[in-house]
Chain A
Amino acid sequence: MATRTSWEEFSKGLWLDNPVSRQLLGMCSTLAITNAVINGIAMGLAVGFVLICSSLLVSLVRKFIPNQVRIASYIVIIASFVTIADRFMAAYFPPLSKALGPYVPLIVVNCIILGRAEAFASKSTVARSLIDALGMSVGYIVALLILSSVREILGSGTILGYRVLGTQFEPWIIMILPPGAFITLGILIAIAFQIERKAKQRS
């Protein structure tokens, strides 16, 4: 792990270890909220904030926490950040808080955050944890953006609320319903694996 450059540490979250397409973590929220692009962006940013803060803190206190109670400690740390973010948004950015309302408490149980705390931040230096969390956040946001764009375009005929397909286009309601999430995610993961395999064959 120590041999990786900072760029490798960051970029692995984008492709090689992408939280959505390769680690398959945090599927619940990924599937549930990606029926509109704005939801995908909002969830991505909120998860990014909590991921970066908690990775930072976990790697800071990693030497003090006994192994046996580490998961409980991480959950308390993550839940605190989520609550702070939630209250802060409700007080100072009411419209944003309104849009994100139902999702924010869900971030506590998003396993990307716990997964990175357990697998990376608890074993790495503060700087590396920060880079890792940044990379994972960007990878997560990009994955949500792709997923939610496909679903919103086909399911509502719009993107970010603007109509992109003509009015004669009959929206595929299934794409904004849960089955559409599974179909889209499955196809996207298959495409990602195919690209990966082609790249391996070439080298």
Chain B
Amino acid sequence: MRLYRRMLIVLSSIGLISGALLMSVNIFTKDRIASNRQKEIEEAVIKVIPGTKSSLKIYEEKDFTVYQGQDDQGNVLGIAINTAAGGFQDKIFYIFGLNAQLTKINSLFVLDQKETPGLGAKITSAEAFLQFWEGRDASQPLALRKPAVKKDALAPNEVNTITGATISSRAMLTSVNAALERIKKLKQEGKFSIEGSNGD
């Protein structure tokens, strides 16, 4: 009986101490982690809408947040959509910028992902993937292209896949197309409004 009691006491106290320790670590770091994430999104908005000085959240639903970016005079330069793609392992959180008419993608930036390191994780690399999104035509659905098969210049709505990471590339494409459709529909329904004068 004494042994059982001792086992119980030791394991419970280890559990309690660790629990208390983790709780205090969480309280201590929670705000900082949240503010880091917020700062990261703000910086990303500025990155994907060239010339932006300040950003403003104009629409929000689950995994789909829209920001508008404006310059010093309050001219709206474009919008940024923060959304998630169904990746290989987990959701890929990313943000991409559009011009105010929703016809052109400025650039795309991955915020958080858990794709296979060395393969799918190349979606965060500018050289391997992100550069192909710059200046894409958003007025029609985008398409993927395997760079190893066709070597000539990309059409305005085409994006190169990553060799060996077709699933991750396709997940991004499907998600961007869905987001484009959604934002256009939201605009038609008048669910969000771009405030300030249109500087584009």
Interface residues of A (CB under 8 A from B): 32-33, 35-36, 39, 64-66, 68-69, 72-73, 76-77, 79-80, 83-84, 87-88, 90-92, 94, 98, 101-102, 155-156, 173, 176-177
Interface residues of B (CB under 8 A from A): 3, 6-7, 10-11, 14-15, 18, 21-22, 25-26, 28-29, 32-33, 36, 40, 89, 112, 114, 117-119, 163-164
Whether A87 lies near B118 (C-beta < 8 A) is no
Given the complex, which residues of B lie within 8 Å of A92, measured CB to CB?
Answer: 29, 32
Question: Which one of B3, B11, B112, B114 has the highest number of Cβ atoms from chain A below 10 Å of its Cβ?
Answer: B11
Closest to B18 in A: A80
Given contacts A64-B10, A65-B10, A87-B33, contact A80 B118 (CB under 8 A): no
Given contacts A69-B11, A90-B29, contact A156 B6 (CB under 8 A): no
Contacting B10 at CB < 8 Å: which of A32, A73, A80, A88? A73
- Minimum distance in angstroms from B116 CB to a CB of chain A: 8
Given the complex, which residues of A lie within 8 Å of B112, measured CB to CB?
Answer: 98, 101
Given the complex, which residues of B lie within 8 Å of A90, measured CB to CB?
Answer: 29, 33, 36
Whether B18 lies near A76 (C-beta < 8 A) is yes
Chosen A-B contacts, 29 in total, with CB atoms closer than 8 Å, are A32-B117, A35-B117, A35-B119, A39-B118, A65-B14, A68-B3, A68-B7, A69-B10, A73-B10, A73-B11, A76-B14, A77-B14, A80-B22, A83-B22, A84-B21, A84-B22, A84-B25, A88-B29, A90-B29, A90-B33, A92-B29, A94-B40, A101-B112, A156-B118, A173-B163, A173-B164, A176-B118, A177-B119, A177-B164
CA gap between A76 and B10 in the complex, in Å: 12
- Minimum distance in angstroms from B97 CB to a CB of chain A: 21
Whether A102 lies near B36 (C-beta < 8 A) is no
Given the complex, which residues of B lie within 8 Å of A36, measured CB to CB?
Answer: 117-118
